[in-house]
Structure 1
């Protein structure tokens, strides 16, 4: 994969008024630029730099969106055609063992990439049409040290899916279950 284009530009939110907002949070807004690209514009450049570092490190893996361009307060990356894990659980009211296994492999991959935080919120784990998992909002992946997926647990608890998730982990990865069960 070729390195992304780095610029010294800053993007004004107002310059993206004609593009649909596909995500918004405390760190910034995400706009869809095309069928396969989006731009995240950050409120704070420090947050942009933290996430950019994680995105750059993650370019070796298919779980991280492809990075195309970055500037002082933005990143242009792959638009993921997917449903979040939270929406999946709400819509289908299920958490199949195969999906739990892919979530565990996602965390293994985060560790292999070199991330120090092996956790993600249920809304930041995306399930593609090909049932691959992607992870977004990586700003704390290198600044936080967390081997217990407490954010995932919190989201699954709110959805009523944590007990089922842990039962599946117990079957699939008893080693992780023994480590994680005390944090439920």
Structure 2
């Protein structure tokens, strides 16, 4: 089956800025839902298809254009085919940083430094990496960093989210008394407070590695 047919098989319901999948092809398994798209693992392949509801279909082209500017940076998934409302790319095995904090999987300073280096390289391409959060950075089984979801890398406004996460890492995560793992509900609550600007991490830290 062609990828466009897979994309066409999906029936979305979008309510109150939340996406729900009502139906999809039997070859697809839903593995992730974001603000503007859902990601499905394609049966018997190492690929996923990211499909956008019609309300957000324009983002598919923008994200495809951004990935085309990052093709030689191996920290991003390879894109195989794009369409008016979908992208097909590598299935990346591993844990997001959100899952690492939730499960107690260590995040080393070397991981933070690699993300810094990736974002520096992205900026050299004339992009403005934005919306960098715990769910779009992954650590693979061989301890490599991968980044997903680049849809907002062309934003014009200055986004401090990664710097704030990095500062929280040095200020709290590396503290000897920081819990080995945090429940998902608490991480989501902290994220909600951050989005509402009810909490901030103002102190700036520099990398040591």
TM-score normalised by the shorter chain: which range applies? Answer: 0.7 to 0.9
Residue 172 of structure 1 aligns to a residue in which SS? coil
**Partners of 1:65 and 1:134 within 8 A in 2:** yes
Partner of 2:117: 105
**Partners of 1:95 and 1:164 within 8 A in 2:** no
Select between 97-106 and 39-48 the one with higher mean Cα deviation: 97-106
Root-mean-square deviation (Å): 3.2
Q: Structure 1 residues 62 and 90, CA, compared in 2 at 3 Å: closer, same or farther?
A: same
Deviation of residue 134 (structure 1)? 1.5
1:116-127 superposed matches below 5 A: 116-117=128-129, 120-127=132-139
CA distance in 2, matches of 1:134, 1:153: 20
> How does the TM-score come out when normalised to structure 1?
0.74
Partner of 1:153: 164
Determine which structure has more spread, i.e. the larger CA radius of gyration.
Answer: 2
**Partners of 1:121 and 1:155 within 8 A in 2:** no
CA distance in 2, matches of 1:133, 1:149: 20
Q: Structure 1 residues 83 and 10, CA, compared in 2 at 3 Å: closer, same or farther?
A: closer
**Partners of 1:31 and 1:40 within 8 A in 2:** yes
**Partners of 2:39 and 2:51 within 8 A in 1:** yes
Which structure has more RCO (C-alpha within 8 Å, separation ≥ 6)?
A: 1
- Consecutive unaligned residues of structure 2, counting only runs of 5 or more, are 12-22, 174-200
1:172 and 2:208 are equivalent in the alignment? yes
* Count of aligned pairs: 164
CA distance in 1, matches of 2:130, 2:84: 27
Partner of 1:42: 52
Partner of 2:84: 72
Deviation of residue 155 (structure 1)? 9.2
**Partners of 1:66 and 1:77 within 8 A in 2:** yes
Partner of 2:31: 22
